[in-house]
Structure 1
Amino acid sequence: MNKNTLELNNIEIKLGNQPLIYFNEEIKAGEVMTVMGPSGSGKSTLLAYIAGFLPEEFSAHGQVILNRLDITRLPPEKRNIGLLFQDPLLYPHLSVEGNLLFALDKNKKNRKGKVNAILESVGLGGFNKRDPATLSGGQQSRIALARLLLSEPKAVLLDEPFSKLDSQLRAEIRALVFEKIQTAKLPCVLVTHDIEDANAAKGPCIHFA
């Protein structure tokens, strides 16, 4: 087992008595593995199992190994896995800065300095006091990415995070997300319906029936 890898060993998920997924893959540092397939084929269910919040109606077994550590039985908050969804899921009652501070341990030094730096890195320097409701869809996606990066995950799961963006903005945000993941050398699983997402990821592509 290599460091900075996400190993999904013999994962089998069933819905009732019906087999849904069998999965056995390794995602390397900085690699984006794409999972495609029709609705109901189990793409998001796989992400839920990896992240630790598989709904009770499913049964599953198989190991999730992250950086040599078996995290299969750890609660979601202990897994060090970052997630991006279709919606940015920003807290509406907090400013941009408040949303980003939420991702940082309260005992960390120079928290506001880290917020300023991450905002600059996603092209939104000076947006600290903005209300999330005043941001465009692309800007909200950038803040969601910044929040994920501040949390210092060891792996990333992407559940169609670009699907609500128009084509030009989709390509722009997608390139930014993949760049940050590769720079941070994070293993990543992307769920998408869009072949352009898979092509841009430049990693292995798995198709569910």
Structure 2
Amino acid sequence: MSLELIDINLSIEGRTLLHDFSLTVANGETVSIMGPSGCGKSSLLGYLCGSLAPGFKASGEIYVRAENVTHLPMEKRHIGLLFQDDLLFPHMSVGENLAFALPRGLSRKIRQERISQALESAGLPDFHNADPASLSGGQRSRISLMRTLLAEPRALLLDEPFSRLDADLRQRFRSFVFETIREQNIPALLVTHDMQDCNGRIITLADTHAKTGVAHA
């Protein structure tokens, strides 16, 4: 279930952000991407999940579980994305938010079992009918992660998911995220500005003012 990037090139308005950037992320591993603002970190995630903003030019191949997903639409790539904002639906209960992510075709019994398992894993077993607005920041973040995982992604992208949390909560949620990734054996790519967010390998993207903008480890 590894994530493999081969010769990724990314540019905007003639400015190179990434040049022949290749990387393999193993099952259960989290690789952190760091670099200054504007160097292409979040744009790389956009290219990987199929939501790159207009104006960018990109090339290179993306493999998820040995399948080339480069030209597939976003919904068929099976790549989960977790943002710094939890993006829970305010008009749905916590359980309904989780149910929204489940694959179609599951029986009612299996759907309820998976939602209950997700709530248990998040340490919130009694929150099925809770209003998302009643949750703390850390609780919302945990539910957001479990909702992403219920969609059964084959790879996971994390775009500064810890940045809006206070220091103590940030540390606890980081540990929860990395432990969950290892348990579910999913390859993950994390974009961050904070070295303390990193877990395992770190890739630093070159300063965007550099002539080539080539990525380096």
Length-normalised TM-score, structure 2: 0.92
Secondary structure at 1:206 match in 2: strand
Q: Distance in 1 between matches of 2:103 and 2:182?
A: 24
Residues 30-179 of structure 1: matches in 2 within 5 Å?
30-109=28-107, 110-179=110-179
Unmatched tracts of structure 1, length 5 or more: none
Is residue 13 of structure 1 aligned with residue 10 of structure 2?
yes
Give 1:85 deviation, angstroms: 0.3
Name structure 2 gaps, 5 residues minimum. 208-217
Q: CA deviation at 1:76?
A: 0.6
Displacement of 1:190: 0.2
Equivalent AA in structure 2 for residue 30 of structure 1: G
Moved more, 36-45 or 106-115: 106-115
CA distance in 1, matches of 2:40, 2:195: 18
Report the residue type matching 1:6 in the other structure: L
Paired residue type of 2:47: Y
Using the TM superposition, give the Cα deviation of residue 42 of structure 1 relative to its aligned residue in structure 2, in angstroms. Answer: 0.6
Q: CA RMSD in A?
A: 0.8
Divergent runs of 4+, >3 A: none
* Aligned pairs, number: 203
What is the deviation of 1:106? Answer: 3.6
Q: What amino acid is aligned across from residue 101 of structure 1 in structure 2?
A: A
Supply the AA of the counterpart residue of 2:55.
Answer: E
SS state at 2:101 partner: coil
C-alpha displacement of 1:160: 0.3
State yes or no: 1:191 paired with 2:191. yes
Give percent identity, aligned residues only.
48
Displacement after TM superposition at 1:105 (Å): 2.3
Of the structure 1 ranges 29-38 and 103-112, higher mean CA displacement relative to structure 2 is found in 103-112
What letter matches 1:41 in structure 2? C
- 1:17 Cα deviation after fit: 1.3
Q: CA deviation at 1:20?
A: 1.1
Q: Deviations over 1:133-167 (max 9, x none)?
A: 11110000010011011111100000000000011
Question: Residue in 2 aligned with 1:27?
Answer: 25
